[in-house]
């Protein structure tokens, strides 16, 4: 049995859980939260160092390899984390099936769009094209 | 419910007893911090739009970036950014509190109270520290 598998055999067979995905989200939420702590601290340091600088300087610093890598990792980690978190909020409070499906879908669209837009912006800055 | 009803006898159903819910519990700090964790998480969910706007403005060019800087310099922009900073740091500290619980520590009553207090005092202190450092980094009083 997998170490992180906390579902009962019946739960596994029926694929239960309000989001139909079992304990995977629980585990991934912990994993992303551990990653988010150092990334958030690094991001705050980066943001403070950019305050008061011109657009050209901001572009140059944001596009430098280390800063760009940290920023991309911060975005990917937090966007996945908040996607799981909002899914949890939705399944807690939205009980009507159609509305639940619609809000879960909207949550995915929002998170994917936001994540892609941020990563695209950082990569474009970094590659300078 | 349908499965339950299908399996039950024809006896009329009585209203089922409900377990105590949040409205009858004493408002305790641990309970308030639990709520704050979810609320700050939801606030960050929408606050991330600000991060996206900032990054996209930076790549779109000086004019777009000037628009972002203008918004952030307004009173509303400042309040949004301050709220984002506090929500981010509060959610981070609250998350560390949850990770401590996840490894099985910090469940004694005094430990729970301490962690709840440390979350709110820590997040407010850290937010003020970050803003003071940011204010000085941006050039201080001019």
Q: CA–CA separation, B45 vs A111, rounded Å?
A: 9
**pLDDT value of position A5:** 66
Q: Identify which of A38, A117, A26 has the alpha carbon closest to the alpha carbon of residue A77.
A: A38
Interface with B, mutate which of A55, A70, A88 (most B CBs under 10 A) = A55
Q: CA–CA separation, B42 vs A90, rounded Å?
A: 11
Which residues have C-beta within 8 Å of that of residue B39, sequence separation ≥ 6?
Answer: none
Is A55 within 8 Å of B55 when comparing Cβ atoms? no
Q: CA–CA separation, A129 vs A127, rounded Å?
A: 6
- Residues in A touching B88 (Cβ below 8 Å): 40, 44
A55 touches chain B (CB under 8 A): yes
pLDDT tens, N- to C-terminus, chain A (129 residues): 455 666 677 766 666 555 566 678 889 999 999 999 999 999 999 999 999 899 999 999 999 999 999 999 999 999 999 999 999 999 999 999 999 999 999 999 999 999 999 999 999 999 986
**pLDDT value of position A50:** 94
Q: Residue A51 has what DSSP assignment?
A: T
Which residues have C-beta within 8 Å of that of residue B118, sequence separation ≥ 6?
Answer: B93, B97
Q: So what's the architecture of B29-137 in CATH?
A: Up-down Bundle (1.20)
pTM of the model: 0.84
Nearest-CA residue of chain A relative to B92? A37
pLDDT tens, N- to C-terminus, chain B (142 residues): 444 554 445 566 788 877 777 677 788 899 899 999 999 999 999 999 999 999 999 999 999 999 999 999 999 999 999 999 999 999 999 999 999 999 999 999 999 999 999 999 999 999 999 999 999 988 877 5
Q: ipTM of this model?
A: 0.84
Q: Identify which of B115, B122, B112, B35 has the alpha carbon closest to the alpha carbon of residue B86.
A: B122
Interface with A, mutate which of B95, B102, B138 (most A CBs under 10 A) = B95
In order of their start, the domains of chain A are: 24-127 (1.20.1300.10)
R_g over Cα of chain B: 23
Q: CA–CA separation, A100 vs A78, rounded Å?
A: 23
Is B55 within 8 Å of A121 when comparing Cβ atoms? yes
The three-class DSSP label of residue A70 is helix
Q: CA–CA separation, A85 vs A120, rounded Å?
A: 23
- Residues in B touching A55 (Cβ below 8 Å): 58, 61-62, 65-66
Query: For chains A and B, what is the number of CB pairs under 8 angstroms?
Result: 77
């Amino acid at each position: 049995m997998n170490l992180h598998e906390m579902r009962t055999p019946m739960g596994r067979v029926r694929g239960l859980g309000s989001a139909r995905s079992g304990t995977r989200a629980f585990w991934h939420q912990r994993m992303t939260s551990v990653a988010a702590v150092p990334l958030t601290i690094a991001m705050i340091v980066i943001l403070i160092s950019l305050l008061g600088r011109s657009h050209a300087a901001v572009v140059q610093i944001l596009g430098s390899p280390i800063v760009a890598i940290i920023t991309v990792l911060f975005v990917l980690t937090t966007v996945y984390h908040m996607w799981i978190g909002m899914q949890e909020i939705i399944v807690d409070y939205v009980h009507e099936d159609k509305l639940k499906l619609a809000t879960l879908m909207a949550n995915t669209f929002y998170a994917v769009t936001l994540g892609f837009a941020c990563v695209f912006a950082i990569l474009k800055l970094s590659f300078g094209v | 419910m349908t499965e339950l009803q299908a399996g039950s006898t024809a006896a009329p159903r009585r209203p089922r007893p409900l377990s105590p819910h949040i409205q009858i519990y004493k408002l305790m700090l641990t309970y308030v911090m639990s709520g704050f964790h979810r609320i700050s998480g939801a606030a960050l969910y929408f606050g991330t739009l600000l991060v996206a706007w900032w990054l996209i403005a930076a790549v779109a060019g000086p004019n777009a970036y000037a628009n972002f800087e203008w918004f952030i310099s307004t009173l509303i922009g400042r309040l949004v950014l301050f709220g984002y900073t506090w929500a981010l740091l509060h959610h981070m500290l609250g998350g560390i509190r949850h990770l401590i619980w996840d490894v099985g520590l910090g469940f004694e009553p005094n430990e729970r109270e301490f962690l709840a207090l440390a979350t709110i005092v820590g997040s407010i202190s850290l937010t003020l520290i970050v803003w003071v450092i940011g204010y000085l980094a941006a050039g201080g009083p001019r």
